[in-house]
Amino acid sequence: DTGVSQDPRHKITKRGQNVTFRCDPISEHNRLYWYRQTLGQGPEFLTYFQNEAQLEKSRLLSDRFSAERPKGSFSTLEIQRTEQGDSAMYLCASSSETGRTGELFFGEGSRLTVL
């Protein structure tokens, strides 16, 4: 299977704890994106990478959120001192700059519940 994979699929944590999500994109894709989706809403852009460079980060994103893609392959999204409002589905997607359409390929998401 060469799709986008995310881990863990589900995470339940207590308020104030740190959590980390991992995303493995499609291997030949150089762009990687993180989105947050709450129930009944569309995906909200968080940040994206081209290779290892983080090119844009949402201004809505708190300093508690940080993302890395150290070798231009997999990426991690860390949330420090979680709050109940962080409960959401965190979606990772990747794309290739060489394709005609450049559509995003999404993983199945990591669902976070903060108690």
Site of interaction with other proteins (CB under 8 A): 31, 33, 35, 40-45, 48, 50, 55-56, 89, 91, 93, 95, 97, 101-106, 108-109
Sign of the alpha-carbon dihedral angle for 93, 26, 24, 73:
negative
- CA separation for the pair 29, 9 (Å, rounded): 22
Q: How many CA atoms lie within 13 A of 95 on its CB side?
A: 13
**Smallest separation (angstroms) from other proteins to the CB of 48:** 6
**Smallest separation (angstroms) from other proteins to the CB of 45:** 6
**Smallest separation (angstroms) from other proteins to the CB of 37:** 9
Q: Which is nearer to other proteins, 27 or 101 (CB)?
A: 101
Cβ neighbors of 97 (< 8 A, separation 6 or more) are: 30, 31, 50
Q: Which is nearer to other proteins, 75 or 95 (CB)?
A: 95
